[in-house]
Structure 1
């Protein structure tokens, strides 16, 4: 049907692979989809993106019916993400969007990461976290930050595109860069305005004076999140032998990190 042109937008490449809008059509095989999800979500090049980022990253290379629903379900059932995902209550005051930069590198911001484990081995994964963030889809600019800076996505195991040489003279390169920057600024303006309009619906402008009492955030039942069951979350229990003095023998379950330190002999 594809070769006869009956199915529109479908084609077969030189390797005999079925494609839809030049994206690989994935067969309805659960193990194959699970493998793709693990590479796009659990691998060191991904570092657990959210449902939207993961879907947009996969959409550039793969397609199958109901893919977005499958991605959302996979992320929702991932227990680690459910435990560490931050929940925020509505803050007081109207939302104040940040200023949109005029050009690349015009404004540089810094994020502080807290709550890291005490193990001395986590810092080796920081470059991977930086790569995963800069090479994943950002809804505000409708592209990856790496693509916004350099004009294309950086190749990764889940998105391995072909590189081609582009020969452009300086005026054309400047014009193309200006068009991209303008497009990004317009998208950021739309995203900020939309975010502010939604946020201010449940906020009110408030001013504090000297001597006013403030209420700090406390735990509330509204911060509880819905749990989505999954067979992989079931933890098997083992019988523990209790001593007469109600003590028991502790056994290590898993080594989370290790470090080798060489002492210099004097």
Structure 2
């Protein structure tokens, strides 16, 4: 619930900050004159590049978007390329790829290793919830299978421990050696 409020407030903040950026204001004017064909203004007045939200850098908003994407719950991005491919479908701004690479480089320096944190987007649709439900069901089945494998492994280990006996040989004992070719 809190996360949804944060996400919707971030979307509202992006919409509010668009009117403060002179570049985005110019693009909005060009959209009105039909000169910027890649851009559109949605019903709520938000400027979009195709379907992606146009994010301004007023008050460090782009960095906040990167932090929100990096610290949320539903996807993993161990490097900047994967995070860029995740984020580019939702957001647009000039230099987004470089900003993502810089952000991930700082994260790697701070943590001393690659990041493995999940991601959550502005809107979670019903289909996405269905997919998440399937993922959780699969995880539960993997846990059951893992428990079975651990139990079987434990049984096999105890069985071999019981049947194991030390062998002692004396000089001139005859033994049968079974050798199989590989």
After TM superposition, the score normalised by the length of structure 2 is 0.46
Q: Greater helix percent: which structure?
A: 2
Structure showing greater relative contact order (alpha-carbon pairs closer than 8 Å, 6 or more residues apart): 1
After TM superposition, the score normalised by the length of structure 1 is 0.32
Which structure is larger by alpha-carbon Rg, 1 or 2?
Answer: 2
